[in-house]
Amino acid sequence: MNIIAAVDNRWAIGLRGELLVRIPNDQRHFRMETMGKVIVYGRKTLATLPQGLPLGGRTNLILSRNAAYRVKGAQIVHSLEELFENLSQYDTRDVYVVGGGSVYRQLLPYCDVAHITKIDRSYEADCYFPDLDRLPEWEITRDSEEQTCFDVAYTFLKYERKHTGGDGETAGL
């Protein structure tokens, strides 16, 4: 599985349920990576999307403990077991975890690729992504030239989980 996020220098991702900053090129990158794919996210992340609706052109799976929760245009799953059962019908390379903080933390152990937009700034924040630079099993395998949006510098990074041998999988479903 893939995981995709925009983080600041301290791996912060949000404040009071909102993104720290909106960078049009990052939004294009997100759309390009996830279009036609399966995206997995939590109920609170859905509320931050345009009009609070599932994203078009993708299969939307929303993780929520609320058994009564329903959303038109998305499938709701209530546990990791139920999520993995649903994901078994898809190629894991086509699955993207897109937020928020608790969903990232729960699903990072099952991901092999992380697409990170690293913003060269520190923001006030109350939600963080795990710091992949401090996790020895992750390594940067691709990075872009630094780009800017107004006065905000950022780079696109691809992290991959280091394979330890054996059957070639370290974090499969």
Q: Which CATH number covers residue 84?
A: 3.40.430.10
Where would I find the H helices in the chain? 24-34, 43-48, 80-87, 101-107
Residue 168, in any domain of the structure: no
Q: What is the pLDDT of residue 169?
A: 45
Is the pLDDT score of 172 beyond 60?
Answer: no
Residue 153, in any domain of the structure: yes
Residues 6 or more apart in contact with residue 131 via CB below 8 angstroms: 11
What residues does 149 pair with on adjacent strands?
A: 152
Residue 55, in any domain of the structure: yes
Residue 169, in any domain of the structure: no
Residue 171, in any domain of the structure: no
Q: What is the pLDDT of residue 167?
A: 46
Tokens of 29: 């990158």
Please state, in angstroms and as integers, the Cα–Cα distance from residue 5 to each residue in 46, 70, 87, 132, 169, following that order: 15, 25, 20, 12, 23
What residues does 99 pair with on adjacent strands?
A: 41
Q: What is the pLDDT of residue 48?
A: 86
Closest listed residue to residue 74, CA positions, set 48, 27, 38: 38
* pLDDT tens string 75-85: 999 999 999 99
Closest listed residue to residue 110, CA positions, set 133, 128, 131, 93: 93
- Taking the alpha carbons at both ends of the chain, their separation in whole angstroms is 9
Residue 167, in any domain of the structure: no
CB 37: neighbour CB atoms within 10 A?
A: 18
Please count the structural domains in the chain: 1
Q: What is the pLDDT of residue 114?
A: 98
Is the pLDDT score of 132 beyond 70?
Answer: yes
Q: pLDDT class for 171, splitting at 50, 70, 90?
A: very low
Residue 172, in any domain of the structure: no
Q: pTM for this structure?
A: 0.91
Q: What is the pLDDT of residue 62?
A: 97
Residue 19, in any domain of the structure: yes
Is the pLDDT score of 69 beyond 50?
Answer: yes
User: Which range marks the domain in which residue 127 is found?
Assistant: 2-161
Average pLDDT over every residue of 66-76: 93
Is the pLDDT score of 138 beyond 50?
Answer: yes
